[in-house]
Homo-oligomer: A and B are copies of this chain.
């Protein structure tokens, strides 16, 4: 266990590396250098070598990196071979969309169960997963090791549900509620997918680009 404290920036680049490498693999490439990978991804070769060196020595001087080996390494660093499992809590539109079409298995996660509080949903089978009543969690999860939960309940239930999940001993929450969760247990890992934050960020850049273009055309008019 060396690698003391890898920065969040580095971690968030790892899935992108993996994606780029899978693409190279699909194209039939055997090897890739830090500079060609950098060009593909819009990063400097320096940064790529720095990033990889946090985890080990995966390259070879004069050759570069073996695409297949490197992607295996990165997938392993990300934990895709750990056999993690998760449950979906809240089978609304987003929950159902994830159950129906997100490929959890591709990223090493097993979807073990889905819960909702609404009687009319309980018993429905979505993509092979039966929706269970949230109050039956004990018998449903009996003897199962669950690592994470997808949280996709309505905003007003978000914190209550998050804390209930934490109390179950589940270690991570993939949060789709657009709410900043307040979880009492500080060890619970929260990974947010804030649609609203993302849309507002896009909105900012959109507004900015319009302002820039306007001031450009003002300049033109003055000519």
Contact = CB atoms under 8 A, between A and B. Distances in A.
Contacts of A77: 204
Contacts of A108: 203
Contacts of A207: 78-79, 82
A92 to B, nearest CB: 7
Contacts of A195: 98, 102, 193
A109 interface: yes
A185 interface: no
Interface residues of A: mostly helix, strand, loop or mixed? helix
A11 interface: yes
User: Which of A16, A195, A199, A210 is the most central at the interface, judged by chain B CB atoms within 10 Å of its CB?
Assistant: A199
B199 A174 contact: yes
User: Number of copies of this chain in the oligomer?
Assistant: 2
Contacts of A1: 211, 215
B93 A197 contact: no
A187 B19 CA distance: 24
A202 interface: yes
Given A92-B101, A93-B96, A97-B97, A201 B191 contact: yes
Given A191-B199, A193-B193, A19 B82 contact: no
A172 B207 CA distance: 10
Interface in A49-100: 77-80, 82, 84, 92-94, 96-98, 100
B200 A80 contact: yes
B206 A172 contact: yes
List the 7 shortest-distance A-B pairs measured between CB atoms, nearest first. A79-B207, A93-B97, A191-B202, A15-B197, A15-B200, A79-B203, A97-B97
Interface of A: 1, 11-12, 14-16, 18-20, 41, 77-80, 82, 84, 92-94, 96-98, 100-102, 104, 106-109, 147-148, 171-172, 174, 180, 187, 189, 191-207, 209-211, 215
